[in-house]
């Protein structure tokens, strides 16, 4: 078994990360494949993410997963709200029987700085500039912001979202807690202003962000 991290957020919501070390055949024993994913590595990530869901909740009905026009997976009867993400050799999943959720997992890479202008607004850029004198941490925090916004995007689930204009960080300070978790307040304002909080946990160069509402 390759559970890298597992966390019970509350009595009805659970989160986990799977470190992918198994061959495709391992996952195919339990995961039905309805969606065609041709690239072998992406297919392995896809399978690992779904395999993780019944690991979080034994009665999770994998065979009932549908795909919306926005490419968001969902259950018709909403027995569970869930979200899946993957990067490199990791897959993350969150599931809840009561709340809307979103999750994202990212590896920290300097290349994130090249696209930061596409998802950070001017206020957020100013906040991050306070950390520019610490280059490694600066890149890590840009990744945190990207991952947090991705988690909100998945939580929303209906597409057509501007990361710069619809997902806005509230406040002017980033505080990293001693246990390497971060709570980031945002306002999601595509149709109406909704205050949400994204929780972030750091595992070295691995960033995990999630939202539960």
CATH number at residue 66: 3.90.470.20
Question: Which of 71, 99, 127 is a domain's end point?
Answer: 99
Instruction: Please say whether the beta carbons of 181 and 200 come within 8 A.
Output: yes
Mark whether 149 and 68 lie in a shared domain: no
- pLDDT, one tens digit per residue, over 79-135 is 999 999 999 999 999 999 999 999 999 999 999 999 999 999 999 999 999 899 999
Mark whether 120 and 92 lie in a shared domain: no
Please, what is the end-to-end C-alpha distance for the chain in angstroms?
30
Widest Cα–Cα separation across the chain: 50
Question: Which of 55, 70, 99 is a domain's end point?
Answer: 99
Is pLDDT at 34 greater than 90 in this prediction?
no
Distance CA 188, CA 170 (A): 10
Mean pLDDT for all residues in the chain: 93
Residue from 191, 5, 165 nearest 85 by CA = 5
Instruction: Please say whether the beta carbons of 183 and 201 come within 8 A.
Output: no
Residue from 36, 40, 37, 2 nearest 19 by CA = 2
Question: Which of 61, 80, 99 is a domain's end point?
Answer: 99
Q: Is 180 helix (H, G, I), strand (E, B) or coil?
A: coil
Mark whether 121 and 52 lie in a shared domain: no
The pLDDT of 28-57, averaged and rounded, is: 88
Backbone phi and psi for residue 25, each to the nearest 5 degrees, phi listed first:
-60, -30
Mark whether 197 and 148 lie in a shared domain: yes
The pLDDT of 18-25, averaged and rounded, is: 95
Mark whether 57 and 126 lie in a shared domain: no
Q: Domains in the chain: how many in total? A: 2
Binned at pLDDT 50, 70 and 90, residue 162 comes out as very high
**Angle at which helices 135-156 and 122-129 pack, to 10 degrees?**
150
Residue 208 lies in a domain: no
Residue 94 lies in a domain: yes
Q: Which residue has the higher pLDDT, 37 or 49?
A: 49
Binned at pLDDT 50, 70 and 90, residue 1 comes out as low
Mark whether 192 and 112 lie in a shared domain: yes
At residue 159, the pLDDT reads 87
Distance CA 198, CA 209 (A): 7
At residue 172, the pLDDT reads 76
Is pLDDT at 49 greater than 80 in this prediction?
yes
At residue 191, the pLDDT reads 86
The parent domain of residue 146 ranges over 108-203
Specify the DSSP class assigned to residue 158. S
Specify the DSSP class assigned to residue 71. S
Structure tokens at 181: 């978790």
Binned at pLDDT 50, 70 and 90, residue 70 comes out as confident
Query: What's the full length of the chain, in residues?
Result: 213
Residue from 47, 60, 38, 61 nearest 18 by CA = 47
């Amino acid at each position: 078994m390759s559970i890298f991290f597992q966390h019970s957020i509350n009595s009805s919501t659970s989160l986990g990360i799977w470190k992918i070390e198994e061959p495709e055949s391992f996952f195919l024993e339990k995961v039905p494949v309805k969606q065609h994913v041709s690239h072998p590595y992406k297919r392995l990530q896809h399978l690992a993410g779904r395999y993780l869901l019944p690991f979080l909740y034994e009665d999770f009905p994998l065979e009932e997963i549908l795909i919306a026009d926005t490419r968001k997976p969902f259950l018709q009867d909403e027995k569970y709200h869930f979200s899946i993400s993957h990067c490199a050799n990791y897959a993350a999943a969150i599931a809840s029987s009561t709340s809307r959720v979103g999750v994202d997992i990212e590896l920290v890479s300097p290349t994130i700085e090249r696209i930061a202008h596409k998802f950070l607004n001017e206020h957020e850029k100013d906040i991050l500039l306070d950390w520019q004198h610490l280059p490694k941490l600066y890149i890590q925090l840009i990744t945190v912001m990207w991952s947090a916004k991705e988690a909100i995007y998945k939580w929303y689930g209906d597409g057509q979202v501007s990361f710069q204009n619809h997902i806005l960080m509230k406040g002017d300070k980033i505080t990293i807690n001693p246990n390497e978790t971060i709570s980031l307040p945002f306002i999601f304002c595509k149709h109406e202003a909704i205050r949400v909080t994204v929780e972030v946990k750091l595992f070295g160069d691995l960033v995990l962000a999630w939202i539960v509402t």
